[in-house]
Amino acid sequence: MALLELTDVTASYGPIRALHGVTAYVDEGSIVALLGANGAGKTTTLRAISGVVRTGGRITFNGRDITNNKPAEVTRLGIAHVPEGRGTLAQLTVSENLRMGAYIRSDGNGVKRDLDRVMGYFPWIRDRRNQVAALLSGGEQQMLAIARALMLKPKLLLLDEPSLGLAPIVVREIFRIVEAINREQNLTVFIVEQNAALALQVARRAYVMEVGRIVLEGPSQELALDESVRKSYLGY
Amino acid sequence: MLLASVSFAQSLAQQVVSGIASGAIYASLALALVLIYRAMDVANFAQGEMAMFATFIAYTLITQFHLAFFAAFALTVVIAFAGGFAIERVMIRPFEGSSVLTLVIVTLGLFSIVNGLAGLIWGYVFKTFSGPFSSNSIQFGGVYIGIQDLGVIAVTLVVLSVVFLLFRFTKLGLAMRAASLYPESSRLLGVRTSRMLALGWGLSASVGAVSGMMIAPIIYLDPNMMQPILLFAFAAAVLGGIESPLGAVVGGVLVGVLLALVGTYLPGGQNLRTPFALLVIVAVLLFRPAGLFGRIEAKRV
C-alpha cells in the first residue's frame, strides 16, 4: 500500500503556478526519488506535502487526507521534512537541535533511546553536542538535519536535496547512511535530488519533473537506462 | 582636601548603587522589548504603556482589594501575562506576516489605546504607589545605600533569573527561542509558532509589569509615567544589542549608572538624562550598530 499519495496536486506562488497537477505515490518502506532541474517544482512538491504552501488536489498519508494541513499537524502525523538549505537552528547547540527534533514527543525514555540510535549513525555528534550548530561544516549540518528529523521517529522522511553544495565524498557518505537507515529502521524516504546518478542508485523508484509536471516515472534501473534521462540528467 | 575626596568617593559609590537599581528597572523593560523584537523584528512601542497599565492593576489590587504588596505583585505578573497573550491574539495575529512598518503602526496604535484606557479608568492625577521597601538606608563602610535600591535590584535579579532558567533549561523555552529565531524550520519540527509568539507577548508583558511596579514607588503613578523609562529601555536594548537578552540586562545597568552620574555630577544634569539616553542610542547606532552583545549576521540574498 502506498504510504503517501499525491493526486493532481497543484500549487502557486502568487500568480505563478509552480505545480500543474502532480500525481505520485511512495510505497511504505521504500526510497523514492524526485528528479528534475532547478525550478521544476521538486521543492514545492515537498512543501505541499508538509503544508508550507497551499495546494489544490489531494494528498493522503497513511490513508488519511492531509491536504492543506498545517506543518505542525503534518509533523505530528509522522512526516519529517528536512528542508532545502537544511533548516539548521544555527544559533542553538547541536544537542538543542536534536532536542527540537523530538519537540512533539513526550516519551522521554524513547527519546533517549532514539538519541543513542541516531548517534550510532552519526558518531561524531557525541563529541560535538555542546557546540553551536553554526560552527559545523556543510556536510555536518546536513547530517545533523537528518539526525534531527530522525528524532521525530517519523514514518516518512522528506529530504530536499541533501547533496546541495557538498563535496562528492560527503554526499556519498550521506546517501550511504540514508540507505542504511531505510534498511535498518524501515523508514520510508522521499528524496528530491538534482544529482540523478546518485539518487537512482539508492532509490527503488523515481519520478522526473519538468516545469511543474511529472514527465517520467518508473523503477530506478529503467530510468537510468532511459535515453532522455541519460542525456538530460546523467550527462553521458 | 582629603575629606572632600573621601566624601566624593562615598557619593560616587552611592550614585553607582542607585544607578544599578534604576538600571535594573530599565533592564526589565529592555528585556521585554528584546523578547518581542527577537520574535517579530519590531520594537513594541506600547511596551511601556502595557507596563504602566499593569502597575495600575497592582495599585487597584493594593488599594481596593487590600492585598499585600507581593501578593498584588504576583497576581499582576499573572494578569499581565494573560493580557499580553490576549493582545497578541487580538491585535497582532491579524497582521502576522505583514511588513515591519505595519506592525510598528499597530504597536503605536496599541500605545494610544492603552494610554487612553488607563486615563479613562484611573484618571491623570498623580498617585502615590507605595512600594514594599523602606526608604531608609543602611551603611556599608561609610557609604549609605538605600534599602529600596537593594530591594529593586534583588527583585529584578529574581525575575531575570526565572526568565533565564525558562529559556535555558525548559523545553518550552527552547521552543520559544527556536520559533523566534527560525520560524520556518521550527514549524517543520511541529512547533506552533504563532502560539509561541503569543506566549512571548505574555512573558514580555509580565517582565515589563515588573519594571512598572518597581519604578512607580520611586516616581509617581500616572498614565504617562513609563514614557521616559521606555526611552531609557530603548537605549539599554540598543546598547546591549537589540536581539540579545543578556545585552538588554547589561545595557540596562550601564545606562542606569550613566544616567545617575549625569544627573548628579553635570550641572543641570537631571534635565540632561533624556538627551543623554538619546545620545547613547545615536552613538551605538553610528559606531557599533550590533551593540555590545549583538552579532552582525551576514544575510544570504
Could you tell me if B80 and B50 are in contact, meaning their C-beta atoms sit under 8 angstroms apart? yes
- In this prediction, residues B258-286 reach a mean pLDDT of 89
Distance CA A5, CA A182 (A): 19
Question: What tens digit of pLDDT does each residue of A29-45 get?
Answer: 999 999 998 889 999 99
Asked whether the predicted pLDDT for residue B1 surpasses 60, the reply is no
Which residues are paired to A214 by β-bridges? A209
- In this prediction, residues A170-178 reach a mean pLDDT of 94
Distance CA B25, CA B249 (A): 9
CB-CB under 8 Å, B191 with A83: no
Higher confidence at residue B60 or residue B4? B60
- In this prediction, residues B238-252 reach a mean pLDDT of 92
3-state secondary structure of A162: coil
Interface of B with A in 176-195 (CB under 8 A): 177-178, 181-182, 184-193
Asked whether the predicted pLDDT for residue A59 surpasses 70, the reply is yes
- Burial level of A151, CB count in 10 A (0-12/13-18/19+)? buried
Question: What tens digit of pLDDT does each residue of B24-77 get?
Answer: 999 999 999 999 998 888 999 999 999 999 999 999 999 999 999 999 999 999
3-state secondary structure of A104: coil
DSSP character string of chain B: -HHHHHHHHHHHHHHHHHHHHHHHHHHHHHHHHHHHHHHHS---TTHHHHHHHHHHHHHHHHHTS---HHHHHHHHHHHHHHHHHHHIIIIIGGGTT--HHHHHHHHHHHHHHHHHHHHHHH-SS-B----SS-S-EEEETTEEEEHHHHHHHHHHHHHHHHHHHHHHH-HHHHHHHHHHH-HHHHHHTT--HHHHHHHHHHHHHHHHHHHHHHHTTTS-B-TTTHHHHHHHHHHHHHHH-TT-HHHHHHHHHHHHHHHHHHHHHSTTGGGGHHHHHHHHHHHHHHH-TTTTT--PPP---
- Nearest-CA distance from A163 to chain B in Å? 19
Non-local CB neighbours of B120 within 8 Å, separated by 6+ positions = none
Supply the mean pLDDT for chain A.
Answer: 93
pLDDT at B141: 77
- Nearest-CA distance from A227 to chain B in Å? 37
Residue spans of the domains in chain A: they are: 2-234
Fold of A2-234: Rossmann fold (3.40.50)
Supply the mean pLDDT for chain B.
Answer: 91
Residue of B nearest to A85 (CA): B185
Nearest beta carbon to residue A72 from set B174, B178, B191:
B191
Nearest beta carbon to residue B182 from set A71, A72, A89:
A89
Question: Long-range contacts for A216-225 (Cβ within 8 Å, ≥24 apart)?
Answer: A217/A24, A220/A33, A224/A197, A224/A200
- Residue A190 belongs to what H/E stretch? strand A188-193
- In this prediction, residues A166-173 reach a mean pLDDT of 93
Asked whether the predicted pLDDT for residue B167 surpasses 80, the reply is yes
CB-CB under 8 Å, A83 with B184: yes
Nearest beta carbon to residue B174 from set A80, A96, A152:
A96
Crossing angle of helices A94-101/A138-150, nearest 10°?
A: 30
| Full set of structural domains in chain B with CATH | 2-287 (1.10.3470)
Nearest beta carbon to residue A99 from set B174, B185, B188:
B174
Asked whether the predicted pLDDT for residue B286 surpasses 60, the reply is yes
C-alpha cell belonging to residue A91: 544559533
Range with the poorest average pLDDT among A13-17, B237-241, B246-250? A13-17
> Going by DSSP bridges, is the β-strand pair A16-27/A2-13 parallel, antiparallel, or unpaired?
antiparallel
Asked whether the predicted pLDDT for residue B301 surpasses 60, the reply is no
Asked whether the predicted pLDDT for residue B274 surpasses 50, the reply is yes
Which residues in chain B have their CB less than 8 angstroms from residue A99's CB? Answer: 171, 174
Grid-cell match 512538491, residue found: A45
Give the residue from A145, A53, A160 showing the smallest Cα distance to A100. A145
DSSP state of A140: H
pLDDT at B243: 86
Higher confidence at residue B1 or residue A165? A165
3-state secondary structure of A217: strand
pTM of the model: 0.87
Question: What tens digit of pLDDT does each residue of B82-133 get?
Answer: 999 999 999 999 998 889 999 999 999 999 999 999 999 999 999 999 888 8
pLDDT at B58: 97
- Count the Cβ atoms, other than its own, within 10 Å of residue B154: 13
pLDDT at A231: 75
Give how far the C-alpha of residue B150 lies from the chain's centroid of Cα atoms, to the nearest Å. 18
Residue of B nearest to A75 (CA): B190
Distance CA B117, CA B180 (A): 30
Question: What tens digit of pLDDT does each residue of A113-141 get?
Answer: 999 999 999 999 999 999 999 999 999 99
Asked whether the predicted pLDDT for residue B260 surpasses 80, the reply is yes
Pick from B182, B187, B194 the residue to mutate for testing the A interface (most A CBs within 10 Å).
B187
Q: What is the dihedral of CA B298, A161, A195, A78, to 10 degrees?
A: 170
The amino acid that residue B17 corresponds to is: V
Question: pLDDT-derived band of residue B3, with 50, 70 and 90 as boundaries?
Answer: low
Give the residue from B8, B24, B20 showing the smallest Cα distance to B210. B24
CB-CB under 8 Å, B190 with A152: yes
Nearest beta carbon to residue A75 from set B175, B184, B189:
B189
Query: What residues in chain A have their Cβ under 8 A from chain B's Cβ atoms?
Result: 50, 52, 70-72, 75-76, 80-81, 83, 87-92, 96, 99-101, 103-104, 148, 152
Give the residue from A86, A65, A154 showing the smallest Cα distance to B190. A154
